[in-house]
Amino acid sequence: MPIATPEQYGKMLDAAQKGDYAYPAINITSLVTLNAALKGFADKKSDGIIQVSLGGGKFASGINVGNAAEGAIVLAEAAHYLADKYNILVALHTDHCQPDKVDSFLKPLIAATAKRRAAGKGNLFQSHMLDASELPLAENMKLSQELLKLCAEQEIILEVEAGVVGGEEDGVDHSDAPAEKLYTSPEDMLTVYEKLQGLGRYMFAATFGNVHGSYKPGAVKLRPEILRDGQQAVMKQYGKEAEFDLVFHGGSGTPMEQIRETLDYGVVKMNIDTDTQYSFTRPIVDHIMKNYDGVLKIDGEIGNKKTYDPRSYLAAAEKQTAQRMSAACDDLLSTGKTIFGKV
Cite the active site residues: 95
CA quadruple 338, 339, 340, 341: dihedral positive or negative? positive
**How many Å apart are CA 180 and CA 187, to the nearest integer?**
13
* Type of residue numbered 76: A
**How many Å apart are CA 157 and CA 93, to the nearest integer?**
9
Under DSSP, is residue 222 helix (H, G, I), strand (E, B) or coil? coil
* Cα dihedral: 58, 59, 60, 66 (round 10): 50
> In whole angstroms, how large is the CA radius of gyration of the chain?
20
What b/e sequence results for 45-77 when a residue is b if at least 16 CB atoms lie within 10 Å of its CB, and e otherwise?
ebbbbbbbbbbbbbbbbeeeeebbbbbbbbbbe
The answer to whether residues 4 and 90 touch, using CB atoms and an 8 Å cutoff, is yes
